Amino acid sequence: MSAETALVTGAGGGIGAGIAAVLARRGDHVVAADLDEERAAATVAAIAAEGGSARAVRIDIADVEAAAATIARIDAETPLATVVNNAAVATSGPLVDVRPDDYDRVMGINVRGTFFAVQAALRAMLPRRRGSIVNVCSTSSFTASTSDMTVYDTSKAAVRMITQAAAKEVGRSGVRINGVAPGTLRTALTTPLLDDDGFAGLERDRIPLGRLGEPEEIGQAVAFLSSDAAAYVTGHVLVVDGGWLA
């Protein structure tokens, strides 16, 4: 059997690269898609160095029409079995200082971009009545961050609802849509916060397992949700946070 193809957006980044690595190790051909093509290419090189199969693609999920065309093109070349919507941005700072353009940027990527990437993936998968979508949510999809991240938290709550509503709507097709909700990991997205030693210590102290997560641990959850082992799982958001939300 030829390899299944998995598209991972934001695959040039910490968690996306971890997800891409795990999916490649299970034998998927990974399409590492990122706004930053060089970072996507680095992920592909790391997968190739392990003997895996991957290719890099530039995508800007905020440009929803172009992103949909890219997803359709990838699907025409290699039918997508798995689509992981991982690309996102964060912003922090007091709510009273949030500017409308910053709000629009975060929502435009995290919510609008994810929504239309889900739509594009469904347009490919529904006619085949087969496929799995995993949206990267966050513990912020369930509870507010301890730092001032109201816009980001709002966006991640919306991604959780996109996941649940879409899963209900298309369930009869057999296409499954789930989410994974990481706790805190050190990546480019969180380094500005974690560089504050006090905050990093506080984070670790609040995590029952006593450490930050690793990108590949998120990848393992995505691998499960997108596998036949999760054939009866849809509309679920799997929390991978070392027990923080417990």
Query: Site residues (CB under 6 A) for ligand NAD?
Result: 9-10, 12-16, 34-36, 39, 59-62, 86-89, 109, 113, 136, 138, 182, 184-185, 187-190
State residue 58 phi and psi, 5-degree precision: -85, 135
Nearer to ligand NAD, 129 or 211 (CB): 211
Question: Residue 199 CB, nearest distance to ligand NAD (Å)?
Answer: 12
CB 179 within 8 A of CB 135: yes
Nearer to ligand NAD, 70 or 132 (CB): 70
In whole angstroms, what is the distance from residue 43 CA to residue 65 CA? 25
In this complex, which beta carbon is closest to ligand NAD, that of residue 59 or of residue 120? 59
Q: Does the active-site annotation cover 152?
A: yes
- Pick 126 or 200: Cβ nearer ligand NAD: 200
The minimum distance between CB 223 and ligand NAD, in angstroms, equals: 16
> In angstroms, what CA-CA distances link 2 with 28, 29, 81, 83?
9, 9, 12, 17
Q: Assign 71 to helix, strand or coil.
A: helix
CA dist., res. 136 & res. 51, Å (int): 26
Which of 133, 10, 5 is CA-nearest to residue 67?
10
State how far the alpha carbon of 196 is from the alpha carbons of 13, 150, 199, in Å: 21, 19, 5
Question: Judged by CB, which is closer to ligand NAD: 105, or 128?
Answer: 105
Helices (H) and strands (E) in the chain, counts: 9, 7
User: Shortest Cβ distance from residue 95 to ligand NAD (Å)?
Assistant: 19
CB of 232 to ligand NAD, least distance (A): 25
User: For the residues of 99-166, what is the DSSP string, one character each?
Assistant: -HHHHHHHHIIIIIIHHHHHHHHHHHHGGGT--EEEEE--GGGTS--SSS-HHHHHHHHHHHHHHHHH
Active-site residue identified among 57, 152, 178, 217: 152
Q: Are 207 and 244 in contact (CB under 8 A)?
A: yes
CB of 174 to ligand NAD, least distance (A): 26
Report the residue number whose CB is nearest to ligand NAD: 13
Catalytically active residues are 152
